[in-house]
Structure formats: C-alpha cells, structure tokens
Amino acid sequence: MLDHSTISAVLTAGMEEGADFTEIFVEDRQSISAMLDDGRVEELASGRDRGAGIRVVSGETTGFAHTADLSVESLRVAARTAAAGARGGTGKALPISASPRSAAGRTLPTILPENVDKGEKVALLKAAEDAARSENQAISQVTARYADSRRRIQVANSDGIHSADDQVRTMFSVSTVASGDTGMQTGRESVGRTVGFELFSETDVAELARTAAQRAITKLAARPAPSGEMTVVIGPGGGGVMFHEACGHGLEADLVAKGASVFAGRVGEKVASELVTLVDDGTMDGEWGHTTIDDEGLAVRRNVLISDGVLMDYMWDGLRARSEGRNSSGNGRRQSYRHLPMVRMTNTYLLAGESDPADIVADTESGVYVAHLGGGQVNTATGDFVFGMTEAYLIEEGRITAPLREGNLIGNGPAVLANIDAVGDDFSMGAPGTCGKDGQGVPVGDGVPTLRVHGLTIGGTAA
C-alpha cells in the first residue's frame, strides 16, 4: 500500500487550502467468479482494481477526488482537486502514525482463495449440479455460482487515524428450476462468509444443492398463497432481510437527518415490542458483513439500536457524527475507492428470545409460516414495505401444512416491531447479501430467530 511519507504528503496537500479535515482511502481489490449453467461453464472471470479516494472537508462542504495512479504526484493533484471543491476552512493537519494499525478481532483465513487452482473451484460447481439433478428428475435447470474476493484497504486522515484491513470473502450459491404439471418453480440456497477457501471444509456444496432442489420440487405441489391480513410466523435466518430493509435503513443517521426516516427524533421512546432487541454488529467474526475497521478507518462495533423495545441510538459514520459532536458507531462504508463513505449497516439482527419455536407454531391457530424472504421495497420515511416470499407454508390448527406458491408480504416496519408477540431461542444468520443505497453496494448480513407477527398482509392469488 502507501508508505508514511506519501500519506503525509497527500494529507498536507489536502490541508494546504485551510481545510478542516482531509482523508485518504487506498484500496487494492482482487476477485474471481465462476458460473456453471446447465453443465457448461458460462463465466470464469477475474479482476483487480487498485486506487485511492481523497476527501477534503471545509465547514459544511466536502470535496472528493479519486485516482488509479498511486504515485505521489497524482495523489497530490487529487488532494488539491478535492480541496478546491471544499475551500474555506482553517484546519491544520495532525501527525499520523508511521505504520497503519490493524484492528484486532478477526480469525485469519487459513487458505487464501487466490492460492487455489481455478479447476478446483469449477469442480465445486460441477459437484453441486450433479447433486441437484440427482435429487429428482423434475429438476430441469441448475445454475451454480462461485465467487471470492480479497480487499486490502488503508485509511489515514488529518485527525491522526491510520488504519488497515485485509478482507477475504468467499461465496457459493445454487439456483434450481423444477418443472411439472403446474409449471416451473424455483429454489435457491447460498452460503457466504468473510473467510477463505476453508469455507468448503465446513460447507458441503452437494448438500447445499440438494436443499435448493428440494425447495423447487416442494413448490410444484404448492397451493396459491392466500390474500389478506393474518398472523405470520417467520423462520430463523430467512426473514432477517425484512428487518434490514424495513427497520435498519430507517436507523441510519443520514436518512434520519434528511427527515427520511420514520424513527427520526424518537431516541429513548418505545418503538417496538419489549421482546425486540435489534443489533448491528460489524464485529461478528466470519459473517458476511464483518470487517475490523470501517471505510473511515475506525474500529467497527456492536451497536444496540433497539433494546427491549426502546430506541437507543442510530448508526453513524464519521462525518455525520463529527457534525453532531459525537463519536462514530463504525458504520462508515463505501463500495470502493471511487465512492464517498456513508452510513451503512454491517450485520443486522434480532436477538434470540426464550420461546420454543415449536410452541410458537403450535400456539398459532392459522396463518402463514415464511421460511425465506426474497427481495423487496421499502419507504424509509413511512416504513411501508413489500417483500417476496420465496418459501412459505400454511399454518392450520397449529401445524405447518401445505407449501405455498410465491406471494408478497406487505406491512409497515414500526407496526411489525410493535406486533411481535413471540420470539424463539433458535437465532440464525441468513444468506449473504448486498445492500444497495445511493448507487453503492456493500456486503451485509442479517438474521432473526423464529418470531411471530400479527397483522401482516399476504398478497397472494387464492380467492
């Protein structure tokens, strides 16, 4: 990455115009991906991207420039360009440490994916396809994907921060299509962790593929989803995306400041059932949203957002926290060196409760059991959301019965939080995800235990 003298020169160039704050973010990212579709390797790609983004702040104005040229001359020009867009402050650069500090809190990869032959990665794809097709002759299409990345970052600023991180992620997914008299149905399963190739010593890709195949096969006999307001039981792991989207985004400080959050001005108020404790935790070793530092060089933290139903705080990035005279929560994240950081989630989840999941279902006379949610939309200003149900079943007389065809789950984030009346003791993290916000995508995790919500609307096709 960059040496101490180069970083000092860049920060000095940024502060020469009298700025209040200057930051340099350096990134070196390499990745590989492979896709197998119906027995053929349709994609095998690798890439590398390296560069630096420089941010200069004067008062309320931010200037930003980025460059793929990491020479001292190019970086100085970028710093002066950023400073030119943020003139007017009176700040002065502070000394930074000669060597970047690496935050503690990560189990290092034992097998770097970059050291594994591509043929071994393709073999995983073929093993997954064979397993999915052998599950049932109804499986008509299988798509398997492999991806890994290594992202090394270095962050330094005029406040004296100088930090570094080395982030290795590995992911695998299988999508299947089953064909029958009722048409075609899909099933998907994926795994992704902030670890190296050792992921596959603890993950059986054949079992992953069989699970995806069974989801598609089961839905061939599914009934149309019902319509109307009813009780919904959400299974462990698979429903976490609803709380990420419908609640988590509304707790990001930039959206709160813009008046685009239904939770604005409610810190200290009861906003949820007393059974609800919502956490965002970048320190979860190995989880998809885990890092040791955020993209502003600050150590990530475990942040309790809602505790026993009471709103405790929002998530903060460094710049927003600076303007409010408080500390960052370690949630400043960016897609790459070409982007400015903003407030983003890491791993967002509901803590487990004390109820037996089987009892939660048994105590539900009728409703819908949602095992997995898909993509959706949310209005953070109102909390209203719509999510697709990718795996769901009827609950009849306290038992999970018939599978349902895909339908929508419709509701309101604050109402969901208030209407949770049972939380299981079986917490699980869900599938790896990419969170999109203002044109940027970053890796995130989410999770929930089994929980029950009254008053959600199912948008199905059954009469």
- Spell out the domain ranges in the chain: 4-30+45-101, 113-151+165-221, 228-459
Top CATH class of 4-30+45-101 equals alpha beta
Q: Residue 73: phi, psi to the nearest 5?
A: -65, -45
Q: To the nearest 5 percent, what fractions of the chain are helix, strand and coil?
A: 20, 40, 35
Residue written as tokens 């018939």?
402
Q: Over 70: is that where the pLDDT of 463 sits?
A: no
| Confidence tier at 1 by pLDDT (50, 70, 90) | confident
pLDDT at 354: 97
| Confidence tier at 73 by pLDDT (50, 70, 90) | very high
Share the mean pLDDT of the chain.
94
pLDDT at 203: 96
- Superfamily per CATH, domain 113-151+165-221: PmbA/TldD superfamily (3.30.2290.10)
Q: What's the pLDDT tens digit per position in 413-436?
A: 999 999 999 999 999 999 999 999
pLDDT at 96: 65
Closest CA to 111 of 170, 33, 164: 170
pLDDT at 91: 46
pLDDT at 93: 47
Q: What is the mean pLDDT of residues 52-76?
A: 95
**Beta strand pairing status for 310-311 and 302-307?**
antiparallel
| Confidence tier at 100 by pLDDT (50, 70, 90) | confident
Please give the structure tokens belonging to residue 336: 């790459």
Total-model pTM: 0.94
**Dihedral angle, C-alpha 224, 225, 226, 229, nearest 10 °:** -170
Q: Which amino acid is at 3?
A: D
pLDDT at 168: 98
Q: What is the mean pLDDT of residues 109-132?
A: 96
Q: Which of 101-115, 229-243, 246-260, 339-353 has the lowest mean pLDDT?
A: 101-115
**Beta strand pairing status for 440-448 and 384-396?**
unpaired
Do 4-30+45-101 and 113-151+165-221 agree at the fold level? yes
| Confidence tier at 17 by pLDDT (50, 70, 90) | confident
Q: What are the DSSP calls for 241-285, one per residue?
A: HHHIIIIIGGGBHHHHHTT--TTTT-TTSB-S-TT--EEEETT-T
